[in-house]
Structure 1
């Protein structure tokens, strides 16, 4: 190999990117992780008090035990775990460095970043889907009072808060801000709380709505957002309520523009599934692989840490044995 060229460049320093690095390390491949934010950046941006749905052993990578105080680990425990994994394994990575382009060369790729460029024989894109929120596309969505990233309930104490959505993020935001003294109204597109809401939380939110502690508009959407109010489109027409803050827990999506810029084929339907081989995780571009939740396109409830950490093994095995694969 030419001086400075690596076997595998991994874009994304989340749990699955780290899993890929551990597998590459185990296989004796030269590798580098490039992450545009901090270590496990998406997990860092989760709400401060978040508890995972999965148990700790299902979040483990590289066979390294994850010990938590309770069966369901917290955000803080997960950050500590993945940091210790990265430190103990001495994973090679560049943080706060964004990949801006992948350029094919003669049998390898040049990867341009916000700071420099690298040459790599193979590339893994493990960028997740937490960076780009699904917008409501309504007037006023760009006001400072609107956020797609809920962090801490104390900020909303004593305020009139609208929470948009009915799944885990929305329910956590509604319950936590309510318990810090906010006047909470939920705006829910469907007729009920989401089926995927954590089983120990679902009865809590349903009871708060039923007793009227948290008001909920079902079969409803945001029509417009104003400085001191919100217009809600309900089955009975437009309802306007006083409002200080809007937490739009409307979900997120992968960076499709980056995938398209690279040349990865996407399905034509709304789910925009990226093309890849399920046995090897290789995309329509030779030597470029996908790993983790990015594989699901807009269907962001398909892949999680627990069922996509195996992608790392598939990728490294294929890199080591490309000539022996038949399909």
Structure 2
């Protein structure tokens, strides 16, 4: 927040204001703010309106209402107000509506950019404090806890595969195709998660929109799953010459991609509802869910139709 900004009284005339601005030699002036004798915000006058008005015009006659934020407003709220109103700067007021400072758009862009970088690291279990040239021991201390959690979650997926050990032993082609199902469902979940997290970060969606988001992502997953499943079935049919195996992986792909889309949307919203940062290692959780659902759907269907596959 900048504490140096230009304020004038509504009864000041244009000529006086322009002269004072010229003497101040201020840079990057896009507007001035109007306050009464108690410092309470009354409005703003944009520079374009100022220079095009007659010299004896009073500022109150060319002023416009301006959005503002409270001094303790969270960062996300400030970004939302600026994005919604498309203003170059926004005043910060105290409880008495007295202007304390100004936040400029370019400052917000820098903050949002840094937040995006921090979220990118937190999604994969890396602390925002870690830099590219951090010491190895610092990086290990920051990364190891979440890698330990990931170690446990990968064993859950391995356990699921182990449950279907007999099926895989009879149809070895299933082991070859497992990464295909897991990879497609993982990418699907990542797409859904990225869109949902961006919506939450920019206040494009709220928790009250959860069902709309879930229906939309479920529909996207179903359509994409049907298309990718059909393509995968054709590929497997050509490779294995087994219509049953092609059908199993096609249906499993649809199930896995729908579940992945729903999970990618649900995880950030659940974390937000619990008061947690939705970026916090959500990719680790999502990968575990998509792997397990993908393996269960594919191997479960294969077990159900094993007589046709054999």
Judging by fraction of residues, say which structure has more strand. 1
Same fold, TM-score > 0.5, yes or no? no
TM-score (norm 1): 0.21
- Which of 1 and 2 has greater Rg? 2
TM-score (norm 2): 0.22
